[in-house]
Structure 1
Amino acid sequence: MDEVFGKGSVGRVIDEQMEAFTRTRIGERYVWDATGRIDVLNRLTDTDLDRMVTNGLREVALGIESGSDRILAAMDKRIDAEMAERVACGLVALGIGVKGYFILGFPGETQQDLDATVQHIRNLWDVSDRYTGDVRASVFEFRPYPGTPVWQTLIAAGHEADALLAYGDVDLTGDGAHESMRLRDEFNFSVGIQFGDVPLQRIRSTLAVLTREEHERNQGGEEVAA
């Protein structure tokens, strides 16, 4: 169901798929997850979403990325933090889970931008606590990928391609991440370069705190030993 919300005419695609799901009674037998675009979901109605829930929709993964509108503009996301929160609220209110992806340390990010992202994540957790749908935050340290616009910007700024590809593991448990995070690559590999204004160690300590809080939420709020 990848990018089910983003292919062609959104309304037509959703209608065709939901008609097929209803006809084959998918929702009576299965649950399924999807990835979606926040700007597209922002245009859907509760009726559209209810129909997908009836047909088995369980969770939508969203590239929320940042709580700073300035950084979102730099990423060319074409959304703002308020829109992301509104969309997430609409999903969880209908019992649809949200897996939000976030990036810390994007080029040009300031401490204020970082703080806005941390607050954004906690706002979304607070929203989900009021509804049946859950919000899971998957937080990454920024790393550039060849072929992306930000890669070209970094190369033009004087970064060497080999250095931008020198991925290495980072152990965040010393900063407070739960031991279960140690071997999860999405949380602990890096090229070891500070791209924004925030020191790399502060990025990693913030990442560790957020991943630990997410782990504790997954454990039902129980106390987790370091």
Structure 2
Amino acid sequence: MSTPAGASLRTRPGLVVHRREAFAVEPPQVVLRRGLLVTRIEQTLVDSWPLLPSAERRAPVIRAVNDRLTTPERLAVALSSAPRLYDRAALRTLLTRLAEGCRSPLEIWGHERVFTGPQMPAFRRQVRIRVGLRTTYLDLFAEREQVNIELDGATTHADPRQREIDLRRDALLATIGILVVRFAHRRLFHEPDDVRRETLAILTSRRPNTSA
């Protein structure tokens, strides 16, 4: 619960009180939802960050951004008003990754551990591509090489319907010269060096031969 700094409420089991300077229980600091006054989603996500187990903290933030309920930029503004937030650096890093285009824990892992470094190109993330009447978004796009790296989640290969959708999408992108390369969740976590080497080899093979 958020209250003005002078409120007499105290934290107790099942209730955490956040006292805020210059906080007023009125718009724009609060909104009305189902007859109740609640803090804005950005402030709520920042406040809940230290209250959740560490393994569960990122999911609500990622979901809110993916569902377009907020943006990394608006969340960063809310975070700036909580300089003493527990594990603040981790939330700031998450917001940076989301602003860079990462949209899942798997993409963040790939960004930080695999598809980075001096030999890697400056991948564009979540690139919007329109082919005919269809619009699709590319996970990691190397524009010069026309290579799209897709990071498949742990459940992707267990779903035949999703696999068929992915194959049709890859074929569509091939019609405009984009090569799709997919790496499974297992390989990204257990074989990151191999994935990196394969990616660099593929990118090299797609670059124009300037020696001729």
TM-score, with structure 2 as normaliser:
0.29
TM-score, with structure 1 as normaliser:
0.28
Q: Which has the larger radius of gyration?
A: 2
Q: Which has the higher contact order (CA 8 A, sep 6+)?
A: 1
